[in-house]
Amino acid sequence: MKTTFGEYIRFHRNKKGLTLTQLAAELNLDSANLSKIENGIRDFDEKRLSKFAKIFNLDIEKVRDEYITDQIGKQIYETNCTPQLLRVAEEKAEYRRTLRNKTV
Amino acid sequence: MKTTFGEYIRFHRNKKGLTLTQLAAELNLDSANLSKIENGIRDFDEKRLSKFAKIFNLDIEKVRDEYITDQIGKQIYETNCTPQLLRVAEEKAEYRRTLRNKTV
DNA sequence: TTAGACTTGTCGTTATTTGACAAAAATAGT
DNA sequence: ACTATTTTTGTCAAATAACGACAAGTCTAA
């Protein structure tokens, strides 16, 4: 089952038997803020992704994928983007790639 | 061909024979900033979408679709999100919808 | 009820975005 | 080429949004 990135963090934290305070300390943030992150009230700062991966011995690429799919999934949800519109968005992303190649 | 939202604005502006200054005035913004928007350096403020639609007599829903697909397409591009990962993001958006229904 | 874990609210700081102005560059008309 | 107009670029202050930190609250288990 696909989950939010906050739930993903919580899953790994519980699996390792860490408290919010313990993990927050390792990540250099407040336990209150980590709580909000796990509950989807705040975003996890991208800068901490590698630290997170190291703590739980996870592949950094996998963690990053988990992160960006969460971010984009959130935007799809918030904008009520339908599957058809998402196809269009995908084409536009492709178009931006062609723009990059033209300009250089 | 799918384009950026900035190019979409420029297309309609040119079609109607308006200068940046003229359209910017109608949209209550600076011509320099509108120039940046059309060139993709800045974002068009979502609050102005309805005004934009009225000026060019466009369906507000269509304009909004054009806008959100641009926004999401931009994020897909910037994060280098592959089609496979986009499918995952879509599932996560769906998951968020189930969350909403559960909570209420 | 006490302790530990987690959540919620708030607020000052930091970072990002926007609006505005000036000035340069490009374009078109004469 | 000269001039007027349009468009682009650079910069900065103001507005906005995101973040870190602290305090106080709730919840759970011994």
Paired tokens of A74 = 């959130």
CB within 8 Å: B89 and A70: yes
The whole-model pTM stands at 0.92
| Nearest-CA residue relative to C1' of D7 | B35
- pLDDT exceeds cutoff 90 at B94: yes
Which among A54, A58, A52, A5 has a CA at the least distance from the CA of A24?
A: A52
What confidence tens digit (pLDDT) does each residue in B22-79 have? 999 999 999 999 999 999 999 999 999 999 999 999 999 999 999 999 999 999 999 9
What confidence tens digit (pLDDT) does each residue in A50-73 have? 999 999 999 999 999 999 999 999
Are the CB atoms for B64 and B49 separated by under 8 Å? yes
CATH number at residue B41: 1.10.260.40
Selected for mutation to probe chain A from B96, B99, B101, B103 (highest A CB count within 10 Å) is B96
- pLDDT exceeds cutoff 70 at B104: no
Numbered residues of chain A with Cβ closer than 8 Å to any chain B Cβ: 1-4, 65, 68-77, 79, 81, 83, 85-86, 88-97, 99
- The domain total for chain B is 1
Range of the domain at A10: 5-103
The predicted structure's pLDDT at residue A99: 84
H/E element, B100: helix B83-103
